[in-house]
Chain A
Amino acid sequence: MSEEPRIGVFICHCGINIGGVVNVPEVTEYAKTLPHVAYAEHNLYTCSEAGLAAIKKAIKEYNLNRVVVASCTPRTHEPLFRAACKEADLNPYLFEMANIREQCSWVHIHEPEKATEKAKDIVRMATAKSALLEPQTEPEVEVKDVSLVIGAGIAGITAALSMANQGFKVYLIEKEKEPGGITQKLYKLYPTLADSSEVVDPLIEAVKSHKNIELITSTTLKEVSGYVGNFNVILTGPDGDREINVGTVIVASGASNYTPPKGLYQYGVYDHVITQRELDEMLRKGEIAEPERIVMIQCVGARKGEIRPSELEAFPKSDTAELLRKILKARKEEGWPYCSRICCMNAIKNAILVKEKSPKTDVVILFGDLRVYKEYEDFYRKARDLEVRFVRQIEEVPPEITQTPEGKLQVMAHDALSGLEVNFLADWVVLSTPLIPNKDEVLLARALKIPISTDGFLMEAHLKLRPVDTNVDGAFIAGTVSGPKDVSESIISGEAAAARASILMGNRKVKTEAITAVVDEDLCIGCGLCEEICPYGAPKIENGKSKIREILCRGCGSCAAECPRRAITMRHFGDHQILAQVNALLIPESLKEVES
């Protein structure tokens, strides 16, 4: 290190949150005695405007080249203090935080003396790490203003149009011969009962005629390399392979319909036991005449069983395709654990369609729970007004189906409200089945390194806060590829993913992680272990040495821990920086030795 560390320590009272427990002035005096500490002060609120101004002023006045703030958690306030350092021309990575609120004063409210001693330890540890910090920069990469959308269902089409209308070039690929996805195959949509084609056809036309969209059908993704801003993609179709270069990728490859195994509610045994999708098709073709009774059964193959720990354990250990094969196989028999969200409305829609065509037909819906959220409640009421009958079931006693000698279906069900057995003679039994992950998306997940959930769907970066982002920068998800959605929700997620991708493409550049791995080539023997274990494919052995492609590295540090030659160092979380905290805690006298 060229420059002697000059650390400024700022200790926060956080009103009474810290100051009410920890003796802040005492800790401040203590901090002044620590090696390399050039300045220390305490503030009522270090994060306040006055507090931040004090930091900036002290950096200049005392010529500080390191800053430690002892206050709350870095998980919330580190960005703020880093920004203050930056404003005072100090590299933000020369900032370190000591968490003496969440991890000290708040958990030791009744032990002020011990908490004060602990706070001193925490500050000492932070200054020890601080002295060893080095400036870092967040690499900036160019983002190509071209996007690839995988899957031309309603979500993919929406995303493609949204980006194309903003002026970005879009490749829209579809594995089928025609675009439209599942929506295109539906008859009518709830709750408007509009023809599905009325919604989809104009969008397909728009896609086909848009000057910024290149629609490539009968084509799938073969390989992806590169990173945010610059993905190299190989597509494969009837005319062979084709290579394209894009800045962002939106995965909208959809889901599949669950097909019940043969024998489940006599599906595949009796011809008149069908799924809602099959009923939908018959309604479209006008093949349902005027039956006396139709019985629908909800949650067939859905909301069954728990996610077993063995599956969870299998997750990162086995590769993604292997995992999905296992999940699909187990689920085929056992059913899927989640609520598929669309089946209640779908059943009600088809019940209404039957009733409108044939009012005399008795439609019975056997359900466990009915989920008709937002304005869909009106749709449910409409079905009630049309005298569709809803009979609640309990999971323990599922309906049983037999065939009468006359060829009708006998449904024996347990009415949860009366506690009695009820029998229905039905012409048709219709099973409501969930949307399930499709196998193709796994190949995508594998190519793009997007993780899949234990349900087998592609996983969002954060379930609540980043619903269309993925763990892979520059790759987004839209539609049912991340879980069951209806048409309007798929459209919303398509628009959302397009907006997220457009931010990157509009800015033309993006900053990536500064905390990355670095290889010491003198120590590296090119064993390739790092290449093997990295979930992001960042290390690559070239000419017998590991090269870490910074842009791909996310900074977990697994490679550094595994490297048998200790040739890999993590920026900002180096071995020496981590162990400095350990040493500062346990052998504080070692700090003085370093200084002398």
Chain B
Amino acid sequence: MVEGEFEPLIVAFCCNWCSYAGADLAGTSRFEYPTNIRIIRVMCTGRMDPTFVLETLRVGADGIIIAGCHPGDCHYQKGNYMMEKRFDYIKKAVKSIGIEPERVKLEWISASEGAKFAALVREMTEQIKRLGPSPFRLMHNPK
């Protein structure tokens, strides 16, 4: 970590069909956003096992974005709804391990919403900066 300003590390799980494509479009459109994000591609947000979120926090991510297709747009019909249904208890679980639930965000980003993706990353980076480093990150990297 650079001394001075805290630079968070945010992991984004993006579904292949909408949000990953939305992130690509942000690139094609040259919408700049902070470098704090690392994207992991999953085929569908329906794939998002709640333990992925907990595990990602455990190893020190400061924030997590889960991004999928808008309601009704899921490539697999209803994976995003399955994700949405899980999200409440994911937040509860996150809270129960002592992490602010605001560190985890679920968003719907379509393949045409490059600007929305860029805005989301900016917003999330700001939010995590306000929250400061995750307690688990400090455990791994005490400096």
Residues in chain A within 8 A of chain B (CB atoms): 73-75, 99, 101-104, 106-111, 114-115, 117-118, 121-122, 125, 309, 312-313, 315-317, 451, 454, 471, 515, 533, 535, 554-558, 560-562, 570, 573, 575, 578-579, 581-583, 585-587
The answer to whether residues A107 and B118 also contact, given A317-B81, A582-B11 and a CB cut-off of 8 A, is yes
A293 and B120 alpha carbons, distance in the complex (Å): 59
Query: Are A557 and B43 within 8 A (Cβ)?
Result: yes
- Residues of chain B from 37 to 90 with CB closer than 8 A to chain A in the complex: 38-44, 46-52, 55-56, 59-61, 71-72, 74-79, 81-82, 86
**Residue with the highest number of chain B CB atoms closer than 10 Å, among A102, A111, A533:** A102
Q: Please name 30 pairs of A and B residues whose Cβ atoms are closer than 8 Å in the assembled complex, sorted by A.
A: A99-B24, A101-B27, A102-B24, A102-B26, A103-B27, A104-B27, A109-B32, A114-B35, A121-B38, A125-B38, A315-B71, A316-B74, A535-B78, A556-B46, A556-B76, A557-B42, A558-B44, A558-B47, A558-B78, A558-B79, A561-B48, A570-B43, A573-B43, A575-B52, A578-B40, A578-B52, A582-B59, A586-B9, A586-B56, A586-B61
Known: A99-B39, A558-B46, A585-B9. A107 touches B32 (CB 8 A): yes
Contact assessment for B35 and A555 in the assembled complex, using a CB-CB cutoff below 8 Å:
no
- Given A561-B82, A581-B40, A585-B11, 9 other A-B residues pairs in contact with their CB atoms under 8 A: A75-B20, A107-B31, A121-B38, A315-B72, A316-B74, A471-B77, A535-B78, A578-B52, A579-B55
Q: Which residues of B contact A315 (CB under 8 A)?
A: 71-72
A75, B24: Cβ atoms closer than 8 Å: yes
- Does B16 count as interface, using CB distance less than 8 angstroms? yes
Q: How far is the CB of A289 from chain B (nearest CB, A)?
A: 50
B51 to chain A, nearest CB (A): 8
Interface centre among B16, B23, B76, B86 (most CB of A within 10 A): B76
Q: Which of A75, A533, A581, A582 has the most CB of B within 10 A?
A: A582
Is residue B96 within 8 Å, beta carbon to beta carbon, of the partner chain?
Answer: no
**Residues in A whose Cβ lies below 8 Å from that of B51:** 575
Contact A313 B71 (CB under 8 A): yes
Is B21 in contact with chain A by the CB < 8 A criterion? yes
B95 at the A interface (CB under 8 A): no
Q: How far is the CA of A312 from the CA of B71 in the complex (A)?
A: 6
- Chain A residues closer than 8 Å to B46, beta-carbon distance: 556-558, 561
Q: How far is the CA of A578 from the CA of B25 in the complex (A)?
A: 23
Closest beta carbon of chain A to B40's beta carbon, Å: 5
Closest residue of B by beta carbon distance from A515: B43
Q: Determine the chain A residues whose CB is within 8 A of the CB of B61 once the complex forms.
A: 582, 585-586
Across the interface, A316 reaches (CB within 8 A) one of B40, B41, B81, namely: B81
Closest to B48 in A: A561
Q: How far is the CA of A315 from the CA of B71 in the complex (A)?
A: 8
- One of A562, A581, A586 near B82 (C-beta < 8 A): A562
- Taken together as a complex, chains A and B put the C-alpha atoms of A108 and B40 apart, in Å, by 18
Cα A36 to Cα B21 in complex, Å, equals 30
Nearest-neighbour CB distance to chain B for A37, whole angstroms, equals 19
Residue contact A582 to B52, C-beta cutoff 8 Å:
yes
Q: Which residues of B does A touch, CB under 8 Å?
A: 9, 11, 16, 20-21, 23-28, 30-33, 35, 38-44, 46-52, 55-56, 59-61, 71-72, 74-79, 81-82, 86, 118, 137, 140
* Nearest chain B residue, comparing its CB with the CB of A579: B55
Q: Which residues of A contact B31 (CB under 8 A)?
A: 107
Closest to A559 in B: B46
A109–B30 touching, CB < 8 Å: yes
Given contacts A75-B24, A316-B81, contact A582 B56 (CB under 8 A): yes
Q: Report chain A residues within 8 Å CB of B43.
A: 515, 555-557, 570, 573
CA distance A99 to B14 in the complex (A): 13
For A101, give the chain B residue with the smallest CB separation: B27
Closest to A555 in B: B43
Q: Which residues of B contact A561 (CB under 8 A)?
A: 46-50, 82, 86
Chain A's closest residue to B16 (CB) is A75
Q: Bound complex: CA of A561 vs CA of B66, how far in Å?
A: 14
Cα distance A561–B43 in the bound complex, in angstroms: 12
Asked if B60 contacts A75 (CB within 8 A), the reply is: no
Q: Which of B11, B25, B46 has the most CB of A within 10 A?
A: B46
Q: Is the CB of B52 within 8 A of A558?
A: no
Task: Please indicate the chain B residues that have their CB under 8 angstroms from the CB of A312 in the complex.
Answer: 71-72
Q: Give Cα A383 to B33, complex, Å.
A: 56
Q: Which residues of B contact A309 (CB under 8 A)?
A: 71
Which partner residue on chain A sits nearest B29 by CB separation?
A106
Assess whether B76 is in contact with A558, with CB atoms less than 8 Å apart: yes
Residues of chain A contacted by B11 (CB below 8 angstroms): 582, 585-586
The 9 A-B residue pairs with the shortest CB-CB distance in the complex, in nearest-first order: A557-B47, A102-B27, A316-B78, A558-B46, A556-B76, A106-B27, A556-B44, A114-B35, A102-B24
Closest to A320 in B: B77
Closest to B23 in A: A103
Shortest C-beta distance, B129 to chain A (Å), equals: 15
Give Cα distance in the complex from A114 to B8, angstroms: 13
Q: Which residues of A contact B78 (CB under 8 A)?
A: 316-317, 535, 558
Give the distance to chain A from B141, nearest Cβ to Cβ, in Å. 9
Residue of A whose beta carbon sits closest to that of B71: A312
Task: Tell me, in angstroms, the Cα distance from A136 to B44 when the chains sit together.
Answer: 19
Task: Report the minimum CB–CB distance from B42 to chain A (whole Å).
Answer: 6
Which residue of B21, B50, B74 has the most chain A CB atoms within 10 A of its CB atom?
B74
In Å, the complex CA distance between A103 and B42 comes to 15
Contact call A111/B35, Cβ cutoff below 8 A = yes
Q: Please judge, given known A-B contacts A312-B71, A579-B52, whether A573 and B47 are in contact too, CB under 8 Å.
A: yes
Given contacts A102-B23, A535-B78, contact A585 B38 (CB under 8 A): yes
Residue from the set B9, B41, B51, B55 with the largest chain A CB neighbour count within 10 Å: B41
Complex contact B41–A74 (CB within 8 A):
yes
For B38, list chain A residues within 8 Å (CB): 118, 121-122, 125, 585
Q: Are B40 and A115 in contact (CB under 8 A)?
A: no
Question: Is the Cβ of A533 less than 8 Å from the Cβ of B140?
Answer: no
A110 to B34, CA, bound (A): 10
Query: Please, which residues of chain B bring their CB within 8 A of the CB of A121?
Result: 38
| Given A315-B71, A533-B82, A586-B60 contact (CB < 8 Å) | yes
